[in-house]
Amino acid sequence: MDQVTSQPISPITGRIARTTPWHQRRRTRRIAHAALVYVLVVPGAVLFTIPLLWMLSTALKDPKQIFVFPPQWIPNPVMWSNFPRGWNDFLPFNTFLINSLIITTSNIIGNLISCSLAAFAFARLRARGKNFLFMLVLGTMLLPQEVTVIPQYVLFTRLGWNDSWLPLMVPPWFGWPFFIFLLRQFFMGIPRELDEAARLDGASSWRILWNVILPLSKPALATVVIFGFIGNWNNFLYPLIYIRSMDKQVLAVALNMFRGAYGNANYQYMMAVSLLVLLPVLLVFFFGQRLFVRGIALTGIKG
Amino acid sequence: MSATTAPTRPRKGFSLRQREEIDFYLFIGLWLIGFILFTGGPILASLAFSFTNWTGLTTQEWVGLENYRQLLFDDKLFWIATRNTFFYSLGSVILGTLGALFVAILLNQKLPGTTLMRVLYYIPSIASGVAVSILWIWLFNPQVGLVNYLLSLVGIPGPPWLASQQWALPALIIKSTWAIGANMIILLAGLQAVPTSLYEAAKIDGAHPWDEFFNVTIPMISPVLFYVLVISTIASFQILTDVLVMTQGGPGTATLVYVYYIYQNAFQYLKMGYASALAWILFAIILALTLLQLWGSKKWVYYEDPGT
Amino acid sequence: METHRLSRRRFLQLAGAGTASVVLLAACQAPAAAPAGGGEAAAPSQTETTLTFGHHWEAAFRPRQEEFDKKYAETHPGVKFEYTYNTWAEHNQIVPTWAAAGTLPDIIYVHGRYAFPWNHEGIVVSTQDFIDSDPEFDVKGIWEEALRLYRYNGKQHGIPYDHGPIILGYNKDLFDAAGLEYPNEDWTWDDFLEAAKALTVGENQWGYGGYYNTILELGNETGISFVGPWGGEVYNEEETKLLIDSDAARAAMQWWADLIHVHKVAPLPAQAQAIPAGPWVAGMTGMFALASWGTPTLIEQASFAWDVAPWPKGPAGRKAGSFGSGFGITRDSKHPEAAWQYMREYLSKEGMEFMWGSSGRGSPARQAAYESWLNSPGAPANARYYMDALENYAVTGHPYHTLAGGEILDICNRNTQLVQSGDMTVDECIANIIAEGNPVLEDAAKRLQGG
């Protein structure tokens, strides 16, 4: 409670003035703080939305309006029909949607398991050759895939996996360097005392991972889920090369099938379907980032 | 939080250290097997191809180090591509990381609307590919594009961007900042993991917000910040789609970036062997940069468990 | 092919064996992957053949393809179809990938620019024997300009399906607004320049310009279109040397560069490139070099009235370039005879009429099939000028029989772009192209000899 130490009388209103000056009061501080945040962040957010609004605008246009100059923002007429037409009339997008969902879900689970295991090992366990192996993990990210795509295709073909989902769905169960690296960084930020306490209780490495590290890593795991979803949802090159039959194809490749020769495309349908394809990603993000709420993160850090 | 009560079975004669090592190899086993089965072979194959004149189709003859000799001493486009890529990487990594950090900190508050804004900042990084690149061609239009419009609001006459030799690469850098949403997420996750008790302790000590930032926040998120730096660097060295769709390496050679040059050699010039050599030089360059970053990380990255 | 090359399969096995030896050994016992991946029985069934395709059609055109194939299947019982649709942009990346693993489909789309390299590398096999023993297949009815793109060492490999020249497209609305007469058969380049000047109005309208930088572009069909009327050549006939340093070629290139910088009737790259599909489609230029394959898109996207006229006459007469695409039977095909049976109908007069004539897609490679296109809603009113060009003054645009085609095109583009933006003079540009390009061409010629 504020202590009243003096009660000056305002010469104007005759009332007793408050003792804490306005710029120190808690509530004003918080409002000012919030206002500062908004001023800094909102303009960027608006800027970031504009390109998407343009996509929406194109998606609702008649093709003859897409390329006029100067560009119009408001389509006239507004062709809502581009959405259902783009989705239904040309290619079986419902099939692609299911395919993408299956592949993506399986890959996320595979990634979570394999990458957590490896990241824990790199973060917490000591062994000879660890640094070399970690460099190897990093190293696999450095070579552009343009030069490994053909040898890898030959390999998978020799395994008999041509025109199947196997080249897309099996490797994620064996780790993915980006996530191994990410989780390792997160795990290394968790205090070792917790591990040691558990070890004293006789826990195995597996127990430590499962009972100590993972519960404290929810934001990191949510990140892996979010990025895993996008990475797989938008993955274009691999499905393009490994899937031959239309009924096995995925959304990311199908989107590009609106493009024809010489850079021409049915832009209105392509934009419409692109926006639709974005929606699941947004859903995943929305639910995933709920784990980013402050306060859940860390317990167990006693003084 | 207590662990399971049953003590681990003592393995025959293994010390604690040895047990840990066994565990290590068990845990990375999946990755190691996958590496050997799926990744290692193609990587070695591409190395082997870099010593040939493989066209990408049928013709293939051993040429030894000729590809490497040619690209280092005879190929001025190699040097141009390297220089362009360095410049692009510097710009996009610095802007991208700082931008992502800035926005992540601001959106780490429990204020109304932050969730919506996180989504808005994040969407662009997932809207992918050709549609987006085409969109940005419009945005960079000198006359009616958004970028020059915004500049004109503050009285700056905008340059011809994609058609200008000086400004085409900066245009690509600007476009890359649109994708900071991804790094923002990672940094947000890192910020979430900083224990509030540390901030409380700092406040009790009378810390100024700047002190809090530099002495609590940065060190605590430094592992994740380091990740963002390394990954951004690697990704920026491998940019391709933007150039493929928006500039095709031009005007002149202004936006000829390294992986675009690889792509041209591999699939348009029938020089897959040469392209493989180029790729391995790129590998060496990024590796050197990553090692440099790793070495530098000892100075500023703070891990909770030193001594691993 | 030549015997001194390392066997590709053996090389790949050696390279991959290093770390994946166990896997490869096990996998080598697995059945060789059939293109269909459907596990066909080892003994080919007598009654059923599956033909596999590598197409590049965008989504909107596929129903047409599948309609043709349905009719074909009805008249040829026992034939089934399996498609792989690649995007046009990635097709030329995917085919080499398939080729490396031996999983090419029976028939693939072959763009004219890739015909020679793929023939040379043995990806697309020769159909000469089929043609020789099949007098009913009217190979002579296909334009020679189209056929020669797909010939290798005197033998026909692929068969073209479309072929078209570059001629003059014009925006009727802009011509009307300027009170000008439409281009006609007597037009020379001076007439062109006069009209272009009258059509350049204000800040956002030019007399000529279009898709990206189709001024001074020395690509396949545009190179000869731009320097030919002045008597110049870009390549020599064997494609071992560049000839753009001749006086005629230099004069031509200077004339076109002047359109941008002296007469200002064409937009700078900064102005043209900033519009994704080019100012022509946006209705901002009066004229454009309009290839026949560009007409379907224009019909869909243009909001103005337009038509075509012959490519104007130059000091050395009339000359324009032409180019096209086709299909080929691949090396990995297990049923080349069945594939040929399909191709001979697909690319017959009736087949072309159905697929590219009456469908409106444009420029079938046969003279006899052209009428059906002219009568389709996909053709502009004066589309017979395309046929006129092919019959009288269009030549196949170089390069089409060197391995260095892609590289030379990039070298030319890099330099001509800078002339267009005003950062380089025509003389410098020619000097650069010759200096960079000739060694590449010579090297490619040596690689052809097997050196």
- pLDDT above 90 coverage of chain C, percent: 57
Q: What integer pLDDT is reported at residue A283 of this predicted model?
A: 85
Residues 6+ apart with CB under 8 A from C83: A246, C52, C53, C55, C65, C66
Pairing mode, strands C107-111 and C79-85: unpaired
Residues in chain A, how many? Answer: 303
Q: Tell me the mean pLDDT in the region C284-302.
A: 87
Number of structural domains in chain B: 2
Q: Tell me the mean pLDDT in the region C272-287.
A: 82
Mean per-residue pLDDT of chain B: 86
Does residue B175 share a domain with residue B81? yes
Does residue B208 share a domain with residue B150? yes
The verdict on residue B85 lying in a domain is yes
Q: Which contacts qualify for B297-301: CB closer than 8 Å, 24 or more apart? A: B297/B226, B300/B222, B301/B222, B301/B223, B301/B225, B301/B226
β-bridge mates for residue C325, sequence order: C111, C162
Does residue B170 share a domain with residue B128? yes
Q: Is pLDDT of C376 > 50?
A: yes
- pLDDT above 70 coverage of chain A, percent: 85
Q: Is pLDDT of C133 > 60?
A: yes
Q: Tell me the mean pLDDT in the region B1-5.
A: 45
Report the alpha-carbon distance of residue A225 to residue A104 in Å, rounded.
10
Q: Is pLDDT of B7 > 60?
A: no
Report the alpha-carbon distance of residue B125 to residue B139 in Å, rounded.
17
- Tens of pLDDT along B42-83? 999 999 999 999 988 888 889 989 999 999 998 999 999 999
Q: What integer pLDDT is reported at residue C336 of this predicted model?
A: 93
The verdict on residue B57 lying in a domain is no
**Chain A residues near residue B1 by CB distance under 8 angstroms:** 194, 198, 211-212, 215, 299-300
Report the alpha-carbon distance of residue C284 to residue B160 in Å, rounded.
19
> How many angstroms separate the CA of residue B268 from the nearest CA in chain A?
12
Backbone φ and ψ for A225, nearest 5 degrees, come out as -65, -45
**Token digits for C195?**
């009209």
The verdict on residue B294 lying in a domain is yes
> How many angstroms separate the CA of residue A232 from the nearest CA in chain C?
19
The verdict on residue B235 lying in a domain is yes
Which of B58, B98, B118, B128 would you mutate first to test chain A, the one with the most A CBs within 10 A? B128
Does residue B293 share a domain with residue B227? yes
> How many angstroms separate the CA of residue B278 from the nearest CA in chain A?
9
Do residue B192 and residue A137 have CB atoms under 8 angstroms apart? no
The verdict on residue B4 lying in a domain is no
Q: What integer pLDDT is reported at residue C247 of this predicted model?
A: 93
- Tens of pLDDT along C160-169? 999 999 999 9
Q: Could you say which DSSP state residue C397 is in?
A: P
Does residue B161 share a domain with residue B39? no
Interface predicted TM-score (ipTM) of this complex, two decimals? 0.84
The verdict on residue B157 lying in a domain is yes
CATH number of the domain bearing residue B172: 1.10.3720.10
**Chain B residues near residue A54 by CB distance under 8 angstroms:** 135, 138
**Token digits for C65?**
């393809």
Q: What integer pLDDT is reported at residue B96 of this predicted model?
A: 93
Q: Tell me the mean pLDDT in the region B110-125.
A: 83
Q: Could you say which DSSP state residue C399 is in?
A: P
Q: Could you say which DSSP state residue C33 is in?
A: P
Does residue B123 share a domain with residue B266? yes
B262 touches chain C (CB under 8 A): no
> How many angstroms separate the CA of residue C315 from the nearest CA in chain A?
32
- Tens of pLDDT along A36-68? 888 888 888 888 888 788 888 888 888 877 777
Among A140-149, B19-28, B141-150, B164-173, the least confident range: B141-150
The verdict on residue B306 lying in a domain is no
A53 touches chain B (CB under 8 A): no
Angle between the N-to-C axes of helices A177-187 and A218-233, in degrees from 0 to 180, rounded to the nearest 10: 170
The answer to whether the CB of B22 falls within 8 A of the CB of B14 is yes
Tell me the residue type at C443. Answer: D
**Chain A residues near residue B39 by CB distance under 8 angstroms:** 140
Higher pLDDT, residue A66 or C191 = C191
CA C9 to chain centre: 31
Query: Hey, is C168 helix, strand or coil?
Result: strand
Q: Is pLDDT of C14 > 70?
A: no
CATH class of the region A83-302: mainly alpha
Q: Could you say which DSSP state residue C310 is in?
A: P
Angle between the N-to-C axes of helices A26-59 and B129-139, in degrees from 0 to 180, rounded to the nearest 10: 100
Does residue B247 share a domain with residue B119? yes
**Range of the structural domain that residue B44 is part of:** 16-49
- pLDDT above 90 coverage of chain B, percent: 41
Query: Hey, is A148 helix, strand or coil?
Result: coil
Name the pLDDT band for A3 (thresholds 50, 70, 90): very low
> How many angstroms separate the CA of residue C16 from the nearest CA in chain B?
5
> What is the 3-state secondary structure of chain B?
CCCCCCCCCCCCCCCHHHHHHHHHHHHCHHHHHHHHHHHHHHHHHHHHHCCECCCCCCCCCECCCHHHHHHHHCCHHHHHHHHHHHHHHHHHHHHHHHHHHHHHHHCCCCCCCHHHHHHHHHHHHHCCHHHHHHHHHHHCCCCCCHHHHHHHHCCCCCCCHHHCCCCHHHHHHHHHHCCHHHHHHHHHHHHHCCCHHHHHHHHHCCCCHHHHHHHHHHHHHHHHHHHHHHHHHHHHCCCCHHHHHHHCCCCCCCCCCHHHHHHHHHHHCCCHHHHHHHHHHHHHHHHHHHHHHHHHHHHHCCCCCCCC
C13 touches chain B (CB under 8 A): no
**Chain A residues near residue C171 by CB distance under 8 angstroms:** none
Q: Tell me the mean pLDDT in the region B102-108.
A: 88
**Token digits for C153?**
């060492």
Q: What integer pLDDT is reported at residue B80 of this predicted model?
A: 95
Chain B neighbours (≥3 Cβ pairs under 8 A) are A, C
Among C25-34, C116-125, C346-355, the least confident range: C25-34
Q: Is pLDDT of A12 > 70?
A: no
* C309: enclosing H helix or E strand: strand C306-309
C410 touches chain B (CB under 8 A): yes
Report the alpha-carbon distance of residue C123 to residue C246 in Å, rounded.
37
Do residue A189 and residue B220 have CB atoms under 8 angstroms apart? yes
Q: Tell me the mean pLDDT in the region C197-201.
A: 93
Query: Hey, is A8 helix, strand or coil?
Result: coil
Q: Tell me the mean pLDDT in the region C332-355.
A: 92
- The ranges assigned to domains in chain A are 22-59, 83-302
Q: What integer pLDDT is reported at residue C29 of this predicted model?
A: 34
Neighbours of C38 (CB within 10 A): 11
Q: Is pLDDT of C425 > 80?
A: yes
Name the pLDDT band for C269 (thresholds 50, 70, 90): confident
**Token digits for C9?**
């399969």
List the single residue in A67, A157, A241 with the smallest CB-CB distance to C301: A67
Higher pLDDT, residue C156 or A17 = C156
Do residue C100 and residue A153 have CB atoms under 8 angstroms apart? yes
Q: Is pLDDT of B274 > 90?
A: yes
Q: Is pLDDT of C309 > 70?
A: yes
Among A81-85, A229-233, C31-35, C219-223, the least confident range: C31-35
* C389: enclosing H helix or E strand: helix C384-392
Closest of B72, B68, B69, B48 to residue B60, by C-alpha: B48
Q: What integer pLDDT is reported at residue C181 of this predicted model?
A: 93
Does residue B43 share a domain with residue B75? no
Does residue B99 share a domain with residue B30? no
Does residue B240 share a domain with residue B135? yes
Q: Tell me the mean pLDDT in the region C148-167.
A: 92
- Tens of pLDDT along C20-74? 443 443 333 333 333 333 334 444 445 688 999 999 988 888 889 999 999 999 9
